[in-house]
């Protein structure tokens, strides 16, 4: 691990933002309205805050060991075998997350655009793309994110801005929702917060940063960018459709793009353009998840090079992507896995942090 | 020596790899599964939905089901009439359009029967050589009796289908909907595009709110608002006229308004570009609204909502054939403004009463209650049915201010 540290703070921020924004954008407004009807934007905002707190802790932990990735310092803190269990859990989770993201992408494509193309082809194409791109080192990896982020953000902002023409402000009131219950809101916050888990990738980027102590700033900005976009999308969707209609749409963000047209009849529907760009968003997320998975595996088995693994992991991820039997089952699994993932991606760093605190106290007292 | 052989083998493998891999990579470029040439699609521009009697529909087509599995209850049968663009005959520019004399028709009108929309579509597909494509569907015309029976069938199909645009128009036709598909308008060669132009221009002229089908669906879903659709009637086989708004109680059409009431509705819902002219019999003159604005205030009084709607309409005098009626001073205009305002206020209250009677809160007063008085809403209302009950009990106060700004090019 003596590669030069080259990732700038800006690149790290772009990396976090690009990793977060992914497949989850499409069903997001539905999840938010199911939690608290017109209070959807507020729920999303709270979820963003929660995700930011979690990521802050994770990044803080990373800056305590600025030369190592989480898989390395966990061994120092927990010992080799305990750490191996944690790493293994992370590997399983992120491999599964990658497969679910690819599958969700495939489902949208098969339902909405390429209706005759076999699902397997779109999923495989996406995974292959991620696998090829994941062969690069961290530097190129962060360049890829830096390059694509504007292409993800700009159309999103454009669609939000143009859809305001059909927005009805009454649809957003009352701010806290009519039928929100504590249970549904917690449910919603957890589900939305789980969309931010890919930001965990920051833990393997910190050792490659020029100024690792600025990692906190980078991940905060990443969450602000991605979270801002998420809140704006939920706001726009509910303002245009109303919360009751949003519940009926399986991918409300896609419907928003369908309802939005460029002024002066240049493009009468933006959904095709939106989907084309959304592919990029999915790609960057998938790339991060994939990268994280193979990095964890190569560190677990102490491989010098992670490249060998990229194609080796592919069949397993593809197989897992094919497991859900229907869209509805897929979304149930996504929700469940997201919930479990929160325990892993948030719980594990907390354990590490606690161990670090205890050990430091032990050192200072002895 | 062995090493060199090995290197040679490696190079050979690499070339072989390239030879095999490159064509494999090129393969998907040419033949996507979803490749479908534009002339091999049956591009549907408009769809009309009518009800059909069992006799008309004939025997079941058994395209989507086997007859014996059908339930014993008599299901409502539908007839859909689709307007399909004929490739190469759609006029692309104004030069090609012309009067259309002697030119072949650019569209083909076909119909099919079924129990549901999709059932009928499949029967239709069975008759067509090309795959039905709904990506360019611009107008859905629903016959009044179908709309009165309930729109859930239609709403579900078009919502579920990913090709359908939410920006398409849905309109309700008095009498037969299919006649609109077969209309032969002089101004445009494609009837569906004529209907589309008619509605788009109505929006531009301030004669109808921009109510594309997506908005209809949103209002259908919302708890404190009922949807409405344009209500049209066929005229002499050539064109059709906008007869008012079809009012809906949830999924079912319950009533319709007069054309001028569209103007009142637009004024009350703060849709600003005005487009309706009013004839006043007493003074024998025409007044045309150009700008409207409205503000609705809500109070809860004695356990029911009380709405105060302040409307201001600006406009001009368009015509005054009666020479003996003087219109020279500002004071005379002000007196006229007052009389017009009083009449308009009556009109607004009448429209509210009509919607209260019909259980169709097209204004979205309920949404105002839900949004602004959530505690009251949660305690007393919560559902659309309860809101309809409460809507009947609600009280209204309308202040209609009419301003006359200009009188045209003629003085007096």
Count of structural domains within chain A: 1
| Structural domain contains residue B164 | yes
The tens digit of pLDDT for each residue in A287-328 reads: 999 999 998 998 888 887 777 788 888 999 999 999 999 999
Q: Give residues with Cβ within 8 angstroms of B27, minimum separation 6.
A: none
Tell me, yes or no, whether B208 and B311 share the same domain. Answer: no
Domain edge (last residue) among B256, B286, B305: B256
- Alpha-carbon distance of A177 to A243, in angstroms, equals 9
Residue B110 tokens, joined: 């076909």
Give me the residue from B167, B367, B382 closest to A259, CB to CB: B167
Q: Residue length, chain A?
A: 366
SS3 A366: coil
Whether A118 contacts chain B with CB within 8 A: yes
| Structural domain contains residue B25 | no
Q: Residue length, chain B?
A: 412
Tell me, yes or no, whether B352 and B281 share the same domain. Answer: yes
pLDDT of residue B23: 60
Tell me, yes or no, whether B212 and B157 share the same domain. Answer: yes
Give me the residue from B33, B162, B374 closest to A117, CB to CB: B33
Count of structural domains within chain B: 2
| Structural domain contains residue B385 | yes
| Structural domain contains residue B193 | yes
Residues B166, A114: C-beta atoms closer than 8 Å: no
Distance from the Cα of A178 to chain B's closest Cα (Å) equals 6
- Alpha-carbon distance of A206 to A11, in angstroms, equals 11
The ipTM is: 0.85
| Structural domain contains residue B18 | no
In chain A, count of helices (H) and strands (E)?
16, 0
Residues B217, A116: C-beta atoms closer than 8 Å: no
Nearest chain A residue to B214 by CA distance is A259
pLDDT of residue A51: 93
Tell me, yes or no, whether B199 and B305 share the same domain. Answer: no
The tens digit of pLDDT for each residue in A219-228 reads: 999 999 999 9
| Structural domain contains residue B8 | no
| Structural domain contains residue A345 | no
Tell me, yes or no, whether B146 and B223 share the same domain. Answer: yes
Tell me, yes or no, whether B245 and B375 share the same domain. Answer: no
| Structural domain contains residue A329 | no
Domain that holds residue B385: 259-406
More confident residue, A193 or B5: A193
- Please tell me the least confidently modeled range out of A63-67, A182-186, B1-5, B308-312: B1-5
Nearest chain A residue to B212 by CA distance is A259
More confident residue, A264 or B97: A264
* Long-range pairs, B179-183, Cβ under 8 A, ≥24: B179/B234, B179/B237, B180/B46, B180/B48, B180/B141, B180/B232, B180/B234, B180/B240, B181/B46, B181/B47, B181/B48, B181/B81, B181/B82, B181/B83, B181/B109, B181/B141, B182/B81, B182/B109, B183/B234, B183/B237, B183/B238, B183/B239, B183/B240
Tell me, yes or no, whether B295 and B215 share the same domain. Answer: no
Strands (E), A59-164: none
- Per cent of chain A over pLDDT 70 is 96
Domain that holds residue A16: 9-324
pLDDT of residue A252: 92
| Structural domain contains residue A63 | yes
B159 contacts in A (CB within 8 Å)?
A: 248
| Structural domain contains residue B304 | yes
Nearest chain A residue to B379 by CA distance is A178
Distance from the Cα of A250 to chain B's closest Cα (Å) equals 10
The stretch A176-181 carries a mean pLDDT of 81
Tell me, yes or no, whether B300 and B269 share the same domain. Answer: yes
pLDDT of residue B99: 47
Q: Give residues with Cβ within 8 angstroms of B180, minimum separation 6.
A: B46, B48, B141, B173, B191, B195, B232, B234, B240
pLDDT of residue B57: 62
Tell me, yes or no, whether B240 and B340 share the same domain. Answer: no
pLDDT of residue A289: 93
| Structural domain contains residue A4 | no
| Structural domain contains residue A1 | no
Query: How far, rounded to the nearest angstrom, does the alpha carbon of residue B161 sit from its chain's CA centroid?
Result: 17
pLDDT of residue B234: 86
Tell me, yes or no, whether B270 and B245 share the same domain. Answer: no
pLDDT of residue B97: 46
| Structural domain contains residue B32 | no
The tens digit of pLDDT for each residue in A100-144 reads: 999 999 999 888 887 888 888 889 989 998 998 888 888 888 999
Residues A240, B372: C-beta atoms closer than 8 Å: no
The stretches in chain B having pLDDT less than 70 are: 1-2, 13-14, 16-32, 35-36, 54-62, 65-76, 90-104, 237
Nearest chain A residue to B163 by CA distance is A112
Residues A173, B372: C-beta atoms closer than 8 Å: yes
Nearest chain A residue to B217 by CA distance is A245
Distance from the Cα of A119 to chain B's closest Cα (Å) equals 11
Query: How far, rounded to the nearest angstrom, does the alpha carbon of residue A304 sit from its chain's CA centroid?
Result: 28
Give me the residue from B217, B367, B382 closest to A245, CB to CB: B217
Question: What mean pLDDT, rounded, does chain A reach?
Answer: 88
Tell me, yes or no, whether B68 and B182 share the same domain. Answer: yes
- Per cent of chain A over pLDDT 90 is 41
CATH of the domain at B296: 3.30.300.210
Query: How do beta strands B41-52 and B131-133 pair?
Result: parallel
Based on C-alpha coordinates, what's the Rg of chain B? 29
CATH of the domain at A109: 1.20.1740.10
Query: How do beta strands B228-235 and B239-249 pair?
Result: antiparallel
Residues A248, B368: C-beta atoms closer than 8 Å: no
| Structural domain contains residue A286 | yes
Whether A244 contacts chain B with CB within 8 A: yes
Tell me, yes or no, whether B205 and B274 share the same domain. Answer: no
């Amino acid at each position: 691990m003596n590669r030069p540290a080259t990732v700038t703070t800006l690149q790290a921020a772009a990396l976090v933002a690009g990793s977060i924004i992914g497949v989850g954008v499409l069903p997001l407004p539905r999840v938010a309205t199911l939690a608290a009807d017109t209070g959807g934007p507020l729920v999303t905002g709270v979820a963003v805050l929660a995700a930011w707190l979690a990521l802050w802790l994770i990044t803080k932990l990373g800056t305590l060991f600025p030369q190592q990735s989480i898989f390395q310092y966990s061994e120092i803190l927990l010992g080799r075998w305990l750490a191996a269990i944690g790493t293994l859990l992370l590997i399983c989770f992120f491999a599964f997350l990658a497969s679910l993201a690819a599958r969700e992408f495939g489902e949208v494509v098969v339902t909405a655009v390429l209706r005759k193309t076999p699902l397997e082809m779109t999923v495989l194409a996406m995974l292959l793309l991620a696998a090829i791109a994941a062969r690069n080192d961290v530097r190129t990896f962060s360049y890829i994110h830096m390059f694509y982020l504007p292409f993800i953000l700009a159309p999103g902002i454009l669609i939000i801005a143009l859809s305001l023409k059909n927005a009805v402000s009454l649809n957003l009131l009352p701010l806290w929702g009519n039928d929100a219950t504590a249970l549904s809101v917690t449910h919603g916050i957890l589900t939305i917060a789980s969309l931010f888990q890919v930001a965990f990738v920051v833990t393997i980027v910190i050792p490659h940063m020029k100024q690792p102590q600025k990692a906190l700033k980078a991940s905060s900005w990443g969450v602000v960018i991605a979270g801002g976009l998420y809140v704006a999308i939920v706001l726009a969707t509910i303002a245009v459709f109303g919360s009751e209609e949003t519940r009926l749409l399986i991918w409300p963000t896609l419907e928003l793009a369908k309802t939005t047209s460029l002024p002066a009849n240049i493009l009468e529907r933006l959904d095709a353009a939106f989907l084309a760009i959304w592919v990029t968003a999915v790609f960057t997320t998938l790339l991060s998840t994939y990268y994280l998975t193979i990095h964890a595996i190569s560190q677990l088995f102490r491989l010098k090079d992670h490249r060998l693994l990229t194609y080796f992991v592919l069949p397993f991820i593809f197989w897992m992507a094919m497991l859900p039997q229907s869209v509805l089952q897929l979304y149930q699994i996504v929700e469940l896995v997201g919930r479990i993932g929160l325990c892993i991606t948030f719980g594990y760093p907390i354990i590490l942090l606690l161990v670090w605190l205890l050990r430091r106290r032990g050192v200072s007292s002895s | 020596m062995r090493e060199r052989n090995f290197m040679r083998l490696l190079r050979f493998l690499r070339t072989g790899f390239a030879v095999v891999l490159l064509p494999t990579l090129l393969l998907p470029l040419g033949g996507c599964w979803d490749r479908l040439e534009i002339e091999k699609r049956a591009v549907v521009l408009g769809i009309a939905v009518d009800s059909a009697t069992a006799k008309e529909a004939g025997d079941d087509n058994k395209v989507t089901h086997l007859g014996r599995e059908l339930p014993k209850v008599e299901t409502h049968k539908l007839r859909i009439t689709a307007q399909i663009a004929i490739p190469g005959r759609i006029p692309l520019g104004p030069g090609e359009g012309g009067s259309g004399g002697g030119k072949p028709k650019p569209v083909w009108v076909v119909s099919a029967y079924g129990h549901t929309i999709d059932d009928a579509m499949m029967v239709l597909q069975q008759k067509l050589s090309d795959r039905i494509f709904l990506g360019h569907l611009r107008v859905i015309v629903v016959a009044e009796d179908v709309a009165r029976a309930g729109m859930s069938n239609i709403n579900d199909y078009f919502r579920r289908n990913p090709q359908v645009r939410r920006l398409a128009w849905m309109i309700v036709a008095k009498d037969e909907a299919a006649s609109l598909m077969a209309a032969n308008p002089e101004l445009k060669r494609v009837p569906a595009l004529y209907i589309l132009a008619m509605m788009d221009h109505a929006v531009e002229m301030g004669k109808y709110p921009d109510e594309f089908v997506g908005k209809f669906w949103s209002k259908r879903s919302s708890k404190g608002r009922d949807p409405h659709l344009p209500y049209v009637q066929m005229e002499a086989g050539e064109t059709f006229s906008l007869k008012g708004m079809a009012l809906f109680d949830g999924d079912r059409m319950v009533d319709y308004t007069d054309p001028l009431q569209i103007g009142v509705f637009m004024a009350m819902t703060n849709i600003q570009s005005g487009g309706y002219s009013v004839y006043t019999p007493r003074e024998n003159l025409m007044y045309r609204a150009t700008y409207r604005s409205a503000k609705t205030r809500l109070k809860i009084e004695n356990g029911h909502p009380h709405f105060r709607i302040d409307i201001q309409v600006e406009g001009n005098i368009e015509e005054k054939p009666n020479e003996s009626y003087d219109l020279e001073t500002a004071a005379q205009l002000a007196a006229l403004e007052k009389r017009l305002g009083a009449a308009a206020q009556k009109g607004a209250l009448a429209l509210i009463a009509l919607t209260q009677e019909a259980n169709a809160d097209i204004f979205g007063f309920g949404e105002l209650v839900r949004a602004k008085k959530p505690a009251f809403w949660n305690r007393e209302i919560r559902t659309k049915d309860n809101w309809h009950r409460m809507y009947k009990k609600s009280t209204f106060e309308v202040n209609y201010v009419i301003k006359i700004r200009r009188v045209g090019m003629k003085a007096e």
